[in-house]
Structure 1
Amino acid sequence: MTAVRDLESNPAEAVAIAVSYQEDPERAVDEIAARIGDTDASFVLMFIPHRMDRGALQTALTRMLPATAIFGCTTAGQITPRGYEGSAMVAMAFRRAHFRVASTLIKPIRPVHIADVVTQTERLAARFPATPGRRRLALIFADGLSKQEDILVAALEAGLKDIPVFGGSAGDGLEFNETFVLHNGAFYKDAALLLMLETDLNFRGLGFHHFMPTEKRMVVTRAIPDERLVLEINGSPAGHEYARLVGVPADQLSPIIFAENPVLVRSGNTYHVRAIQQMRQDGGLTFLSAIDDGLLLTLGRGKEIIRTLDAGLTVRDDADEAPDMILGFDCFLRKLEIEHKGLEHEASDRFRAHRVVGFNTYGEQHLGVHVNQTFVGIAFFRPRRESPL
């Protein structure tokens, strides 16, 4: 049997990774700094447990990593080199030899001013000219409770033009109170962090979910789009009509029912997931992405989530090499479904085998579209070496 080439036994070449399970922010940063402090890093990405004291963490970062450009966000869970975690602080130091970065903080984003975002994005791209022989991509981390990611990512797509955009919405566990992005070591809410990267590495974007459309259709007949709130489906109270189509009593609707029975929106030949966040007391359904009057929805049915995960993460470069590391943005509802089915160990095994590090999100951004219940990622391949003469 071939041994798993995981990140703990065989670290990534282009990115140094450190994980701390300390609850105290100062001790956590001390551990992180001890492991990546000597890395000549262009920048560090940090994925933060939602309950960690942000003020103490910000102070510790300033004191222990004063000269390091630090970005990231709060999360609904983490993916470490060992797989799924719930209270780990993850740090990824992107080596200067392989990465260059420019950043901008977009604040406020409630509401998004499209023209301003396009202008800000174009300015960032203009002061970050391309280097011959290198490739560029963008990462976006947004307040996951802003309800603005759909408009935001469309504006970014317009401003960045041919530069691909990937990202995840910041999380707050399963509490949905407030989420934060981390820009230059400081926390902000009602904000989005845009990073433009340039790298000499080959990379490949990933995006997949495990749902198929059923024959059960529904039409949004009354909604408040700005709130991502659906009040009526098929002319009936939204929660009750959704429960009827799923086949459960309305009073039994729960996050796991929503996770296992999402609604899908068709765009061409592709179905995107529109995840339900919760049912309100008045029977309305709040969603995690854009919704509108007259929108045609299809009830989704899941395929084998572990097999789909394994297949989606199995990528190769032109030289038939596996990735050095995959940066992953995985919807919290996927993790919820996996845990409910008792499959967390199998999922973690797949993440470990495919060298995935990242976090659980409140939404994912993939090539100009904000989606839910989807895994979005970037597979970075090992640095190319010159062939000996």
Structure 2
Amino acid sequence: MPEPWPGDRSPESREPASIVPASPLAVTFPAALQDLEDRIHAALAPVDPSLVLIFGDPSDGLSHLGAGLHARFGPGCRIVGCSSAGEIGPHGYASDSVVALGFPAASFRIGICVLRNQSQVPVSGWMASLRRLHAEFRPDPRRSIFGVLLADALARQEDVLVATLDAAIPGLPIVGGSTAKGMNFLPTCQMVDGREQRDAALFLLMETDLAVSEVSFAHFRPTDRRAVVTAADPHNRIIWELNAEPAAEEYARLAGIPCDSLTATEFARHPLLLRTGRRHHVRAIRALTPGAGLQLLSGIEEGNILTLGRAVDMTQGFADAMDGLPRPPLMVLGFDCILRRLALERAGMAGQMSQLFARYRVAGFNTYGEQHSGMHVNQTFVGVALMSPEGG
């Protein structure tokens, strides 16, 4: 059986937690802690990390913290981080905190590609950089390999990014999250080795001797109510018309809600689903626009057929998905939509989900969009479970 998850210890403890050899380690500290750099280094140094991931918005600045840790750990350890809408630490949901994850060099090899100028969408340049990274990385076929994408949510280019990644490195499992700062969708802060990366997406290629399994869970099922997007602004992700009617009015009719009662809560309860292949993916509504439009958190185009979704049990469904893993995870690197967290908090169930996150050793952050299986989605939990090798 795995050793106790480090989060079972007090987050104020300065002693390194007991962990499975060569398994990842996650720690959480208050964002305003003055000796944050010292405490993260003390907690993660025993695992000799090749990568430290940092999620949150420390009071002294993410880049400042990253630079200090890069100097402490040395050139053999990469420091990568981003701001978030909320964190997931060893005790579950956290706020105004910094979550640091250490990936031991004994079991993890890391490659990093900064995909710059997101707003200009230089797909050819991204493609060349990704192919060069993969070729120079020279993956070991005897080990597991996966990718992690941290995208700037305000650039609104996640659909292009995931398509580019899928074309550049076919067959690679990739999970990720769209980052912004806080609950007010403020400008993203991203960092590599202490250097701030503006208008960029960060891609990590990770190879490990642990077993790897992708995880995806959306707590919605399709209904029989559908609508065709008859007018849209794809660049700004706005639907102007559904079924040739003002989008907000037609959405309210389909959901059975008075138009003047449309709120973020109702949008979260009744999402729009886009079917791709055999699966429905959430196209979450962010807000109403002047002119009765619906602004989404994912791409939309005229002609798309959307289905109204209905919510199912969020906690039991998540537990069932995690219990379906081949073995108990040493850690799950997770990206959880902020709209899911808000819905749980409004339902008084955030504590229950936090307990599940702790039980299944989930660590990560709350996002404004999730990437999985070549798709950019919303209101979904996606992640990668890291498990002991079969027979190991």
Q: Please give the TM-score of this superposition, normalised by the length of structure 2.
A: 0.91
Please tell me whether residue 363 in structure 1 is matched to residue 365 in structure 2: no
Selected match of 2:108 from 75, 90, 99: 99
Shift of 1:62: 5.2
Shift of 1:171: 2.7
Partners in 2 of 1:189 and 1:105 — Cα distance?
10
Please tell me whether residue 183 in structure 1 is matched to residue 192 in structure 2: yes
Shift of 1:367: 1.6
Shift of 1:63: 5.5
Partners in 1 of 2:338 and 2:152 — Cα distance?
15
- Asked if 2 retains the 8 angstrom alpha-carbon contact of 1:228 and 1:287, the reply is yes
Please tell me whether residue 46 in structure 1 is matched to residue 45 in structure 2: no
Partners in 1 of 2:227 and 2:109 — Cα distance?
47
Partners in 2 of 1:56 and 1:69 — Cα distance?
15
Partners in 2 of 1:209 and 1:4 — Cα distance?
29
Q: What letter is aligned with 2:354?
A: S
Aligned counterpart, 1:323: 329
- Asked if 2 retains the 8 angstrom alpha-carbon contact of 1:141 and 1:193, the reply is yes
- Asked if 2 retains the 8 angstrom alpha-carbon contact of 1:50 and 1:75, the reply is no
Q: How does 1:80-95 map to 2 (within 5 A)?
A: 80-95=89-104
**C-alpha deviations, 1:36-64, integer Å up to 9, x for none?**
13431111111113877345445544565
Shift of 1:168: 0.9
Aligned counterpart, 1:74: 83
Selected match of 2:164 from 148, 155, 169: 155
Shift of 1:137: 1.1
**C-alpha deviations, 1:291-311, integer Å up to 9, x for none?**
011111111001111111111
> Cα RMSD between the aligned structures?
2.2
Shift of 1:5: 5.0
Partners in 2 of 1:61 and 1:5 — Cα distance?
26
Please tell me whether residue 311 in structure 1 is matched to residue 317 in structure 2: no
- Return closer, same or farther for 1:37/1:6 CA change in 2, 3 Å cut-off: closer
- Asked if 2 retains the 8 angstrom alpha-carbon contact of 1:75 and 1:361, the reply is yes
**C-alpha deviations, 1:250-281, integer Å up to 9, x for none?**
33322221111100011222111111111123
Selected match of 1:289 from 295, 298, 308: 298
Partners in 2 of 1:216 and 1:49 — Cα distance?
41
- 4+ residue runs of structure 1 moved beyond 3 angstroms? 3-7, 9-13, 49-68, 383-386
Q: What letter is aligned with 2:260?
A: D
Q: How does 1:1-389 map to 2 (within 5 A)?
A: 6-9=5-8, 11-13=19-21, 14-24=23-33, 26-49=34-57, 53-54=61-62, 56-58=64-66, 60-61=68-69, 64-65=72-73, 67=75, 68-317=77-326, 321-382=327-388
Aligned residues: 381
My pick for the range that moved more, 154-163 or 66-75, is 66-75
Shift of 1:132: 4.4
- Return closer, same or farther for 1:85/1:243 CA change in 2, 3 Å cut-off: same
Local SS of the residue matching 2:308: strand
- Return closer, same or farther for 1:322/1:62 CA change in 2, 3 Å cut-off: closer
Partners in 2 of 1:55 and 1:327 — Cα distance?
22
- Asked if 2 retains the 8 angstrom alpha-carbon contact of 1:143 and 1:190, the reply is yes
Partners in 1 of 2:377 and 2:98 — Cα distance?
25
Shift of 1:22: 3.9
Shift of 1:20: 0.7
Q: What letter is aligned with 1:99?
A: F
Local SS of the residue matching 1:137: strand
My pick for the range that moved more, 164-173 or 56-65, is 56-65
Segments of structure 2 that go 5 or more residues without pairing to the other structure are 9-17
Partners in 1 of 2:59 and 2:253 — Cα distance?
36
